[in-house]
Amino acid sequence: MKLTKEQLKTDFKKKLMNLYAERVSESSKLHQYLTLGSLVKEYASEKWMNTNIQYTKKHVKQVYYFSMEFLIGRLLGSNLLNLGITDLCSEALHDFGIDLNEIEEVENDAGLGNGGLGRLAACFLDSMASIGIPGHGCGIRYDYGLFEQKIINGYQVEIPDNWLKHGNVWEVRKEDKAAVVKFGGKVSTVFEDNKLCFKHEDYEAVLAIPYDTPVIGYENNTVNTLRLWSAETVDKDFDLDSFSKGEYTKAVEHKYSVQSISQVLYPDDTRADGKILRLKQQYFFVSAGLQSIIRRYKKSNLPINRFDEFIAIHINDTHPSIAVAELMRLLVDEENLSWDDAFKITTNTFAYTNHTIMSEALEKWPIEMFKKLLPRIFMIVEEIDRRFCIEINEKYNDPQKVHDMAIISDGNIKMAYLAIVGSHSVNGVAKLHTEILKSRELNNFYNFYPYKFNNKTNGITHRRWLLKSNPKLSSLITETIGNKWIHDPNKLIDILAFSKNASFQNKIYEIKQSNKIDFANHVKDNYGIIIDPNSIYDVQVKRLHAYKRQLLNIFGILDLYYRLKSNPNLDIVPRTFFFGAKAAPGYYLAKRTIKLINTVADKINNDSSINGKIKIIFLENYSVSLAEKIIPCADVSEQISTTTKEASGTGNMKFMMNGAITVATLDGANVEMSEAVGENNIVIFGMKKDDVIDLEKNKTYHSIDYYNSDSRIKFIIDNLINGSLDVPTSEFADIHKYLIANNDEYFVLKDFDSYINAENKIDGLYKNRGKWLEMSISNIAHSGVFSSDNTIEQYSKEIWNTDRITINMHH
């Protein structure tokens, strides 16, 4: 039955009464949000049930995306959009005098991820549901997501993200589907029923409770599931054993130690330090997830030895790679399969994506810690490794090779190697990244298993990142080329025909201006700073990391500032630079960089001698919901990582889709963006991949040479430590040391000149409005290929072997 506005109004009033015994007129925005949210979930639940029934009945192959992170952000707006009831809802609420946009702002972001990797998982869920792939997410229901960032006196301060404080209207707790996960204890071998069995005793049992969230496909009746696990004690509140012995505090301590497993997301996406709690988190959700998949599979009455024909499991980075060993345990110990049969099923089931070549992020676990926490899993990893090493030796007869490729070596378990050995597919996330994996970081494995390696360039969901976040641009596109692009984003190319059309260009200009004015108001309300909507909005928003080179950006700004100071008549288009970036709490240099950006911002924003030609805004607490606001109003997108270091980037694609011009190194997916849009429509600068590789190999880079030979660089670097930034001279001494004494690991000084030229080029291009708009339109037109619908289609065909299913509502 089709929902009408009147029905929705009736439902809303009734729900508000049932939940809170209130009338609309006396209800708060929070209650209005919670009411609408539960109503929307109800509207999706028949489709949700129906989807599950049809998946089961048709025995379709299903894919499970295992990820420690799902950075899904807010759900109200995207659920309304995907259900096709945004306008209906907006009008119904309008009749009550309620503004839907204000209600959407009440929702807390689900910030269950650090950055690109977690957001990619969220885009993939949206695309799987929207193109009809039976695919589900499996992860952890953290009580606290990524910390909330406050800027106090220019410094980052971290505040716990209590995202669940008003409850969560989207999730369903499923106590009846709980699983038990076992830690620690001893394993002994016994001979039972004519075979060797492994007996696990004295372990600590933790209860994993699933919370399911519907993942609603775009106007297609498909509703998949995101299942997130929460840790509880088996006997609910107390360790009864200790309790009855009168050890009350010990009982309570146990409860907290168990709950701590799903308490908080690790906020460090830079270093893999071997913290035991993180290993616990990994095994916790992987074991619970696999148990629930197997339980469901067995209900279908299909034989366990055909598991891999009906189930595909994706490992998002190495974090869930312990799944390889856990599935082996379940198949061998619990389902009584032979090792060889189990291993075949396991490798056919798993596929692994690598998301970084940064060596600090490669996960490895000390043997002793691993063995103590997961004794049976350790035995299985040892056996996988033993058999793998025999194979390497057979092929190369070279002990060095065996040592280099072994899963267990030098006292550690190398999780990437376990993932590769236990999967049938290994992919990188952009062409360049995959090439680097094959030729360098994973070259040994590529030579051994060339058939496993493939590329899947990342993508973004155009529903959230264009249709929802930029409604004006979306309407213009639909008015111009029809609405087919919404189901088939590749059709965005049809607007290319209008790139030189003056009237279309004008409309594009007006929309960007309108978005910029909206954001200027946001900045005025939240920061008390007046910015000029006619200035160029130049944006770098992403995690703070040395390789992403926020330092290069701020140095470029300082250089422009010094030029303006010495020549107040310098003819430049005014610019507003926006930064948004969270630093890992323990990442000292990143935190200093935030302080530097804020220091420079204070100085420049308050210098009346430059007539407001430059403004710098550090946006606090960069998050998915803030991204949805800033990206649609950007003129310039900063994608300036040291070439070879950014595996793909996905923010780059979001800006492109919203018509920003990209200033970029030829790194990650920037390479493919440049190929798609053409080099005249993007501003490329900096070292190429081979330059970086050569400099790193030959160690011929000396940052001091650039300091000595370029007076602009010398001036900027000197000013870091001579008090001219109006802070104590010690404040940025460590940044100075990092760049000069420690030789500037990411070649900021080397790329400086080329970067300045790129920024000057932007200024020139912007002065020619027609040309600029033509470039901007061309970017939007070519962005459709970066929709995650395309990426997911490739995963589905080339890795998972899953079919698209049309969900039928008449069953």
The contact set with ligand 26V (CB under 6 A) reads 114-117, 120, 266, 268-269, 272, 317, 355-356, 361, 363, 429, 458, 646-650, 668
- What is the C-alpha separation between 261 and 159, in angstroms, rounded? 19
Q: How far is the CB of 587 from ligand 26V (least distance, A)?
A: 12
**Amino acid identity for residue 558 in this structure:** L
Q: CB-wise, 358 or 695, nearer to ligand 26V?
A: 358
Active-site residue (options: 543, 595, 613, 645): 543
- What is the C-alpha separation between 800 and 657, in angstroms, rounded? 28
- Annotated active-site residue 136? The verdict is no
Of 298, 409, 446, 415, the closest CA to residue 350 belongs to 415
Q: How far is the CB of 35 from ligand 26V (least distance, A)?
A: 36
Neighbours of 263 (CB within 10 A): 17
Active-site residue (options: 41, 254, 654, 750): 654
Q: CB-wise, 361 or 379, nearer to ligand 26V?
A: 361
Question: What number of residues does the chain have?
Answer: 811
- Annotated active-site residue 355? The verdict is yes
Tokens of 639: 């994608």
- What is the C-alpha separation between 86 and 84, in angstroms, rounded? 6
Active-site residue (options: 355, 575, 613, 750): 355
Q: How far is the CB of 529 from ligand 26V (least distance, A)?
A: 31
Q: CB-wise, 123 or 293, nearer to ligand 26V?
A: 123
Q: How far is the CB of 546 from ligand 26V (least distance, A)?
A: 13
- What is the C-alpha separation between 769 and 635, in angstroms, rounded? 12
- What is the C-alpha separation between 778 and 484, in angstroms, rounded? 18
Residue nearest to ligand 26V (CB): 116
Alpha-helix runs per DSSP H in 330-483: 339-349, 367-373, 375-396, 399-405, 415-421, 431-436, 443-448, 462, 471-481
Residue recorded with tokens 């409860």: 255
Q: CB-wise, 200 or 278, nearer to ligand 26V?
A: 278
Q: CB-wise, 316 or 515, nearer to ligand 26V?
A: 316
Active-site residue (options: 136, 141, 227, 548): 548
Q: Do 305 and 331 touch, CB atoms closer than 8 A?
A: no
Q: CB-wise, 553 or 639, nearer to ligand 26V?
A: 639
Active-site residue (options: 254, 433, 512, 542): 542
Residue 33: partners with Cβ closer than 8 Å, 6 or more residues away: 76, 103, 104, 106, 107
Q: How far is the CB of 668 from ligand 26V (least distance, A)?
A: 5
Q: How far is the CB of 671 from ligand 26V (least distance, A)?
A: 12
- Annotated active-site residue 548? The verdict is yes
- Annotated active-site residue 654? The verdict is yes
| SS3 (DSSP) at 366 | strand
Q: How far is the CB of 322 from ligand 26V (least distance, A)?
A: 14
Q: CB-wise, 254 or 654, nearer to ligand 26V?
A: 654
Q: What are the C-alpha distances in Å from 457 to residues 316, 435, 669?
A: 14, 12, 7
Q: How far is the CB of 540 from ligand 26V (least distance, A)?
A: 14
- What is the C-alpha separation between 344 and 336, in angstroms, rounded? 14
Paired sense of beta strands 110-112 and 661-664, if any: unpaired
Active-site residue (options: 222, 346, 457, 650): 650
Q: Which H helix or E strand runs over 9?
A: helix 5-20
Sign of the dihedral through C-alpha 252, 254, 257, 259: negative
Q: CB-wise, 69 or 635, nearer to ligand 26V?
A: 69
CA atoms within 13 A on the CB side of 242: 13
- What is the C-alpha separation between 475 and 485, in angstroms, rounded? 11
Q: Which residues are catalytic?
A: 355, 542-543, 548, 650, 654
